């Protein structure tokens, strides 16, 4: 495996994430499972890339490799950052700590980075305010709704000002209405911060609303089948959901996905 965090060449333009010939197999023959690839992927700085694909096609595997939680079987995945800023990952199960207050949860990554407490609290409070959670800084997560907990997880990930945001179905467990609200919030946030994002979802609507590019993966082992650029200029808002181009792109993507989703 290549060094996932190589030193950038000064002044050289570079993609933030670059995967080449990436594969991952789990287990040993005869019981091995080819989960992913081969797959080549480049995500440019500031780009928001959405990945859709049938269940079990290796999406989470790709994200875990990108997060440095899993090694590829072959190929390389490089993440180039211009500053020692981390990649932040949000899983669909939120991963927030019930025994910490909301503020302490949001401050978590900053504490690891040894940001002084006063500054860390101020940054955490700033993100809580942006996520509409200012009044809940001293509350414990158990007292929050699912959507509020998810916003805490997003605030925690963004508080470290990651150069790369890795999101694995972050809104999957939410009801449709809340999901739409959080999509719009994320759209607004990432268009302001220009955070490079790799976002996994089962929802084609979500992918089209959020993505500069929507990549469609094949059934396992997941390879890239197609790439679409939703034809909506930025900054965009959730209003694009009612555009005719939105509906036609959605049905085009669904046609592709339906062929892959049918079990062999």
Ligand X SMILES: Nc1ncnc2c1ncn2[C@@H]1O[C@H](COP(=O)(O)OP(=O)(O)OP(=O)(O)O)[C@@H](O)[C@H]1O
For the record, the structure tokens of 51 come out as 């990945």
Q: Which positions touch ligand X (CB under 6 A)?
A: 26-27, 33, 35, 53, 55-61, 220
**ω into 30 cis (within 30 of 0):** yes
Q: How far is the CB of 40 from ligand X (least distance, A)?
A: 17
Cβ neighbour number for residue 122 with a 10 Å cutoff = 13
**What distance in Å separates the CA atoms of residue 17 and residue 78, rounded to the nearest whole number?**
6
Considering the complex, state which of residue 151 and residue 220 has its C-beta at the smaller distance from ligand X. Answer: 220
Considering the complex, state which of residue 61 and residue 73 has its C-beta at the smaller distance from ligand X. Answer: 61
Considering the complex, state which of residue 39 and residue 120 has its C-beta at the smaller distance from ligand X. Answer: 39
Q: How far is the CB of 45 from ligand X (least distance, A)?
A: 25
| Residue carrying structure tokens 């499972």 | 33
Q: How far is the CB of 222 from ligand X (least distance, A)?
A: 6
CA distances from 40 to 87, 198, 220, 236 (A): 20, 14, 15, 28
**What's the angle, vertex CA 220, arms to CA 46 and CA 182, rounded to 5?**
40
Q: How far is the CB of 201 from ligand X (least distance, A)?
A: 9
Q: How far is the CB of 92 from ligand X (least distance, A)?
A: 8
Considering the complex, state which of residue 28 and residue 118 has its C-beta at the smaller distance from ligand X. Answer: 28
Considering the complex, state which of residue 16 and residue 61 has its C-beta at the smaller distance from ligand X. Answer: 61
**What distance in Å separates the CA atoms of residue 46 and residue 257, rounded to the nearest whole number?**
27
Considering the complex, state which of residue 172 and residue 240 has its C-beta at the smaller distance from ligand X. Answer: 172
Give the largest CA-CA distance in the chain: 56
Q: How far is the CB of 56 from ligand X (least distance, A)?
A: 4
């Amino acid at each position: 495996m290549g060094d996932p965090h190589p030193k950038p060449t000064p002044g050289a333009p570079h993609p933030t994430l670059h995967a080449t010939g990436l594969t991952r197999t789990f287990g040993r023959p005869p019981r091995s499972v080819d989960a992913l690839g081969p797959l080549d992927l480049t995500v440019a700085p500031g780009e928001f890339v959405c990945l859709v694909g049938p269940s079990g096609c290796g999406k989470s595997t790709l994200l875990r490799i990108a997060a440095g939680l899993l090694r590829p079987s072959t190929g390389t995945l490089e993440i180039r950052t211009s500053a020692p800023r981390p990649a932040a990952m949000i899983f669909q199960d939120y991963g927030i700590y019930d025994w910490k207050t909301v503020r302490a949860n949001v401050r978590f990554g900053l504490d690891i980075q040894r940001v002084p407490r006063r500054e860390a609290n101020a940054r955490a409070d700033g993100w809580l305010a942006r996520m509409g959670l200012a009044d809940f800084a001293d509350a414990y997560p158990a007292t929050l709704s699912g959507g509020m907990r998810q916003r805490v997880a997003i605030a925690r990930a963004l508080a470290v000002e990651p150069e790369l945001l890795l999101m694995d179905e972050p809104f999957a467990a939410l009801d449709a209405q809340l999901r739409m609200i959080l999509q719009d919030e994320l759209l607004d946030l990432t268009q302001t911060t220009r955070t490079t994002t790799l976002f996994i979802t089962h929802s084609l609507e979500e992918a089209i609303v959020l993505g500069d590019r929507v990549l469609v993966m094949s059934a396992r082992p997941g390879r890239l089948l197609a790439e679409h650029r939703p034809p909506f200029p930025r900054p965009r808002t959730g209003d694009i959901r009612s555009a005719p181009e939105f509906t036609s792109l959605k049905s085009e993507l669904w046609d592709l996905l339906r062929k892959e989703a049918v079990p062999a």
